[in-house]
Amino acid sequence: MTTPFSLTPLKQYIDDQNEPICAYYYDLDYLSERIQWITRELPEQVNFYYAIKANSDKPVLRTLAPYVYGFEVASLGEINKVRQATPDKPIAFGGPGKTSVELQGALESNVELYHIESELQLIRLNTLAKDAGKPVKVLLRINPYFSLPNATLQMAGKPTQFGVDQHQIESILKSLGNYSNISCVGFHFHALSNNLDAKSHLLLIQNYIELAQMWQRAFGFEIELINVGGGIGFNYEPHGSQFDWELYCDGLTLIFEQSGIEFKLAMECGRFVTAPIGCYVAEVTDLKTNHGENFAILRGGSHHFRLPSSWQHNHPFKIVPKEQWNWPCSRPGFNQENITLCGELCTPKDVLGKQVHVEQVRVGDLVLFEHAGAYGWHISHHDFLSHPHPERIYIQNNQLTFPKEY
């Protein structure tokens, strides 16, 4: 994957603004190339879903739709977004808290696959599907016991609210005959987030397959599909090595060749698809030194871009100089200093980079946070303090667009 994320069109936009800038910028041309590269490398026995929780903007979903098998969602709101953006794509519906209202809505929206996270979800879905006269396909989500590779977040392999404990699966498998409208076609695993190591990810998948095959033999039922989740990482460290996607795809091909499995695999990736396609830009509105430390205050913050504070990391950034200065005083600035990049919120937690080195920054310059395309806007608490939302800018076919609805 060689295409660089292009910032050139954004420079024009920046020069044209008179008010303090605060914007998300997504490059849909780059996204289109990226998803084609991702899916081209995969063996054909893999159904690739995009996990829309990472970035559910409709232009993003529309750009991905021609190249992905389907979309993975975790709420009725996400189902509605997919159906509005791209009405006919398959949807897989996961999440530990699916309510009866959401299950009903999913049935009405013809969701293709349900990831079941508890016995009660199974009972509820069967009851509603029976009332609706619809057969449904499910995967049972497992919280397995084996140890997992290093990753930033871990959802399984330890006590969590996700999935069904591996040791309780047998009793559910024995009871499947009681569910008239449910056909259980396999298993679902999503155990971690942001794994950067392709080899350990392949081992994890082999573990999933072996566990599923053990149940297949013991219960003599046919597996159609194993969903191995998302969790492919994106390295936010400047110059850090990225997940080796080619190696991973070659490894998957080998797994199919050597194990002779006849079922398909599904993946549901979010971060790996959209992290590098966006950036968040916020203007410096003030600079100060306080108790011996330097601070930059931005027109924006964690209410738009919660990723750095949620992961407690310094997010990679660039200073983009802006030359206008219309105030009747000399322009405040720092040269060759460490500074803390703060948002405009009234909380000391609103920090996007702590004591990071800058060559030069002046009030009115922009801080551009790179790789903000996934879990940026979409995990943030947008209305805290009622500041205006950032502008949304997409580039498509080399043109900037500013849709009001996304």
Which residues lie near ligand PLP (CB under 6 A)? 51, 53-54, 72, 94, 190, 193, 229-232, 268-272
Q: Which residue is nearest to ligand PLP (CB)?
A: 230
> Shortest approach of ligand PLP to residue 155 CB, angstroms?
6
List, as own/partner pairs, every contact residues 56-62 make where C-beta atoms lie below 8 angstroms and the sequence separation is at least 24, other chains included. 56/81, 56/378, 57/26, 57/392, 57/406, 58/84, 58/85, 58/405, 58/406, 59/26, 59/28, 59/394, 59/396, 59/401, 59/403, 59/406, 60/26, 60/28, 60/31, 60/274, 60/277, 61/85, 61/86, 62/86
Provide Rg for the chain, Cα atoms.
Answer: 23
- 61 vs 68: CA distance, rounded Å: 10
Residue 72: strand, helix, or coil: strand
Closer CB to ligand PLP, residue 22 or residue 73? 73
Closer CB to ligand PLP, residue 75 or residue 216? 75
Backbone phi, psi, residue 49, to 5°: -100, 150
Task: Output DSSP code: residue 345.
Answer: S
Closest of 85, 91, 98, 58 to residue 72, by C-alpha: 91
Backbone phi, psi, residue 74, to 5°: -135, 15
Closer CB to ligand PLP, residue 54 or residue 282? 54
Closer CB to ligand PLP, residue 266 or residue 358? 266
List the catalytic residue out of 269, 279, 342, 346.
346
Q: Using an 8 Å Cβ cutoff, are 213 and 252 in contact?
A: no
Dig out the tokens for 290 from the structure. 């306080």
Amino acid 142 reads I
Q: Check if 22 is active-site.
A: no
- 138 vs 112: CA distance, rounded Å: 9
- 378 vs 52: CA distance, rounded Å: 10
Q: Using an 8 Å Cβ cutoff, are 253 and 43 in contact?
A: yes
Closer CB to ligand PLP, residue 139 or residue 281? 139
List, as own/partner pairs, every contact residues 71-75 make where C-beta atoms lie below 8 angstroms and the sequence separation is at least 24, other chains included. 72/230, 72/268, 75/102
Amino acid 209 reads I
> Shortest approach of ligand PLP to residue 194 CB, angstroms?
6
Closer CB to ligand PLP, residue 72 or residue 350? 72
Closest of 137, 138, 154, 136 to residue 146, by C-alpha: 154
What are the catalytic residues?
346
